[in-house]
Amino acid sequence: MKINVIAQPDKVFGEVILENISSQQFNKLWIVSAFANKKAVSYLEPSVLEMKNSGAEIRIVVGIDLKSTTIEALEKILELDVDSKVFHNATPGHTFHPKIYLFEAEGKGVEIFVGSNNLTAGGLSGNYEASIQITFNFPDDEAEYEEIKNSLNRFLNPTGDLVQPLTEKLIQVLSKRGDIISEKEARKNRAKLLKTDKRKVKISSPFGSEKVKRLSVVSTKTKKNPPKIATDQKNFGKLLWKKENLPASDAQRPETGNPVGDFD
């Protein structure tokens, strides 16, 4: 058994997870996350679909507490057509908060990640996060793995009325109830939280700032003129591709005001 620590942004968690999914070494995958947004699901989508098409078993369990899982995220997970569930305790004050990524190769071994990384763009890159990565090699570590897996079973294989299968009808019900909101609403809420009233704040922040790597999403939809992907690091910073006649929708430009950014 081997234990490793993934401290983001020193190491990008999303890249590690994507590498495991894309490796085709594993025939079972569990993703358990308190929160989810569309960008993170879209980032993993091509490799998850490839893994599913190879015959792998995939289960995704997400929570909807604190309105931090969006309508679009659930719709995107539903499109994957894998075993997907939503966990929620209707009693206030009991937040579903685990983050587990488990990869199982039958008869060979397992890799499991437990930490703070949600299935969100910030959780996969951009945020400051930490996760423990445990590697089990069979048959030597099989007993230890079964013990840990059993202790996490209520999250990996949830049952009872606290969990519901993800369906289009469930998304509609949760949306009408206000349990989940759109990414547009989430952006607005986040902007309000981050906004500082400069008229009232006269003291500069005592904190510094740094740029950290963020994930980029490759669309699974075929385009007439797909962008070229640079593989040579020497080209970093140069113009690699541009799209002529950029439509307003691509720029996320509203009818009035400035273009909006992406929601993480």
Model confidence pLDDT, tens digit, residues 79-133: 999 999 999 999 999 999 999 999 999 999 999 999 999 999 999 999 999 999 9
Of 98, 113, 91, 78, the residue nearest 35 (C-alpha) = 98
Q: Is 103 inside a domain boundary? A: yes
| More confident of the two residues 128 and 260 | 128
CA–CA distance, 61 with 46 (Å, rounded to integer): 19
Q: Is 72 inside a domain boundary? A: yes
Give the range among 54-68, 143-157, 178-192, 241-255 with minimum mean pLDDT: 241-255
Residue 259: its pLDDT value, please? Answer: 46
Residue 82: its pLDDT value, please? Answer: 98
Residue 223: its pLDDT value, please? Answer: 39
Task: Give me the domain span that covers residue 93.
Answer: 2-184
Domains held by the chain: number: 1
| More confident of the two residues 213 and 36 | 36
Structural contact between residues 71 and 181, judged by C-beta atoms closer than 8 angstroms: yes
Q: Is 31 inside a domain boundary? A: yes
Q: Is 226 inside a domain boundary? A: no
Residue whose entry in the numeric block shows the structure tokens 């699974």: 220
Of 179, 220, 235, the residue nearest 62 (C-alpha) = 179
Residue 192: its pLDDT value, please? Answer: 84
Structural contact between residues 102 and 156, judged by C-beta atoms closer than 8 angstroms: yes
Q: Is 241 inside a domain boundary? A: no
What is the Rg, in whole angstroms, of the alpha carbon atoms belonging to the chain? 20
Please name the residues in contact with 122: beta carbons below 8 A apart, sequence gap of 6 or more. 264
Which residues are paired to 130 by β-bridges? 7
Q: Is 258 inside a domain boundary? A: no
Residue 214: pLDDT above 90?
no
Residue 182: its pLDDT value, please? Answer: 96
Which residues are paired to 210 by β-bridges? none
CA–CA distance, 153 with 177 (Å, rounded to integer): 29
Q: Is 146 inside a domain boundary? A: yes
Structure tokens at 233: 């690091």
> What average pLDDT score do residues 54-67 get?
97
CA–CA distance, 81 with 79 (Å, rounded to integer): 5
Q: How many CB atoms lie within 10 A of CB 23?
A: 13
CATH code, domain with 124: 3.30.870.10
Give the range among 10-19, 186-195, 202-211, 232-241 with minimum mean pLDDT: 232-241
Q: Is 30 inside a domain boundary? A: yes
Residue 262: its pLDDT value, please? Answer: 47
CA–CA distance, 155 with 54 (Å, rounded to integer): 25
Residue 172: its pLDDT value, please? Answer: 98
Residue 70: its pLDDT value, please? Answer: 97
- Strand 2-8 relative to strand 129-137: parallel, antiparallel, unpaired? antiparallel
Q: Is 187 exposed, middle or buried (0-12, 13-18, 19+ CB in 10 A)?
A: middle
